[in-house]
């Protein structure tokens, strides 16, 4: 969700994208976020998530295996995550999509569409920073699967 503005985050993600190019086709798809004032009612928050969710779902193809990043999702250690990525590729799920929601999180429809929900812990992180963290973890997974000592 949203356009990445911070130069240092763009540079970090670009570095991991370059590193990942020898393993996979790595692509970031930005979806416009919904403008929302600081103070919103519960109904207004749900409306924002619903509109953002519609934009997200419009970008996801039927064949894609979708990981939704959500605090309520399952936490994994890096080795488990690497094994999961490897297994998906082995069993015909070569198109893997990771969805990072906006500041209010993901809509129930996006969570329902996801094949799995993944959590990076109970911390709330800015979605812009989460892109960098996720990029690094995807790279780490490929390095683990290739037998590289990178992840230690």
Q: Annotate 50-61 with b (16+ C-beta within 10 A) or e (fewer).
A: ebbbebbbeebe
Please give the radius of gyration of the chain, using alpha carbons only, rounded to the nearest integer: 16
Dig out the tokens for 130 from the structure. Answer: 């989460």
Q: Does a structural domain hold residue 56?
A: yes
pLDDT of 123 strictly over 90: no
Numbers of helices and strands, H then E, in the chain: 5, 3
Q: pLDDT tens digits, residue range 56-93?
A: 999 999 999 999 999 899 999 999 999 999 999 888 88
- Residue pointed to by tokens 């934009």: 55
Task: Give me the torsion for CA of 78, 133, 112, 36, rounded to 10°.
Answer: 160
Structure-block tokens of residue 120: 């990076």
Average confidence score pLDDT of the chain = 92
Sign, CA torsion 136/147/96/23: positive
Give the residue numbers of the binding site for S-adenosyl-L-methionine.
Answer: 69, 101
Whether residue 35 lies inside any domain: the answer is no
DSSP 8-state class, residue 125: -
Whether 2 is in a domain gets the answer no
Question: What pLDDT digit, counting tens, does each position of 18-37 carry?
Answer: 999 999 999 999 999 888 77
Asked whether residue 68 is domain-assigned, the answer is yes
Length of the chain: 152
Is the pLDDT at 152 greater than 70? The verdict is no
In-domain check, residue 36: no
As annotated, the binding site includes 69, 101
Distance CA 49, CA 86 (A): 31
> How far, in Å, are 5, 42, 70, 124 from residue 129 at the CA level?
11, 25, 14, 10
Closest CA to 136 of 90, 102, 98, 91: 98
Position 55 in a domain: yes
Expressed as residue numbers, the domain containing 137 is 7-30+43-147
Looking at the structure of the chain, the number of domains it has is 1
**What is residue 137's predicted lDDT score, i.e. its pLDDT?**
96
CATH number at residue 134: 3.40.1280.10
> In this structure, are residues 67 and 97 in contact, taking their beta carbons and an 8 Å threshold?
yes
């Amino acid at each position: 969700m949203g356009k990445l503005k911070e130069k240092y985050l763009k540079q970090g993600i670009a570095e991991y994208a370059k590193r990942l190019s020898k393993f996979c086709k790595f692509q970031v798809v930005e979806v416009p976020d919904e403008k929302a004032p600081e103070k919103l009612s519960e109904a207004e928050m749900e409306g924002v998530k619903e509109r953002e969710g519609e934009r997200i779902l419009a970008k996801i193809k039927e064949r894609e295996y979708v990981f939704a990043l959500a605090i309520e999702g399952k936490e994994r250690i890096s080795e488990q995550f690497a094994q999961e990525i490897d297994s998906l590729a082995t069993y015909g799920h070569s198109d893997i999509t990771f969805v990072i929601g906006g500041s209010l999180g993901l809509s129930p429809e996006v969570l329902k569409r996801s094949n799995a929900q993944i959590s990076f812990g109970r911390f709330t992180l800015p979605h812009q920073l989460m892109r960098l963290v996720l990029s690094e973890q995807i790279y780490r997974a490929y390095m683990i699967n290739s037998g590289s000592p990178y992840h230690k």
